[in-house]
Copies of this chain bind each other. A is one copy, B any other.
């Protein structure tokens, strides 16, 4: 029931990272980190409550968020009412898809900004155009790379 110090600290570190990158609440981040660092068998709701020292209600709502985002999944054992949670099979794929969306959104914004400045602040646009287009093509490249990797992951799945 007690975690090693090494694991505790790693949960904290990964948790903070997830908070920042995935916009999850602190507890959701810690739970997700815990499951990332645990065996593929997963953990029961109760065990998560005890390990995290958090209330049942907090764990319940945060687990539901993680389920909705498809970051985790659950399974049941015959003759056992409990649900067992684990990281979803392809959570790295989800992470990358989110990154792709975020980059695409960034690209759309940059394009809008450049367009607006070309129309309304021509002097500024001229000054920044070369860097702006460099940035645009950089974003395009990154999106391409990510999609490429996603198709490779798709192959792995089969």
Contacts and interface: CB of A to CB of B under 8 A. Distances in A.
A75 interface: no
Do most interface residues of chain A lie in helix, strand or loop, or is the interface mixed?
A: helix
A47 to B, nearest CB: 16
Interface string A73-115: 0000000000000000010110110000010011001001100
| Number of chain copies forming the complex | 2
A112 to B, nearest CB: 7
Interface of A: 6-7, 10, 13-14, 17, 20-21, 23, 36-40, 90, 92-93, 95-96, 102, 105-106, 109, 112-113, 116-117, 120-121, 123-124, 127-128, 130-132, 134-135, 138, 141-142, 145-146, 149, 152-153, 156
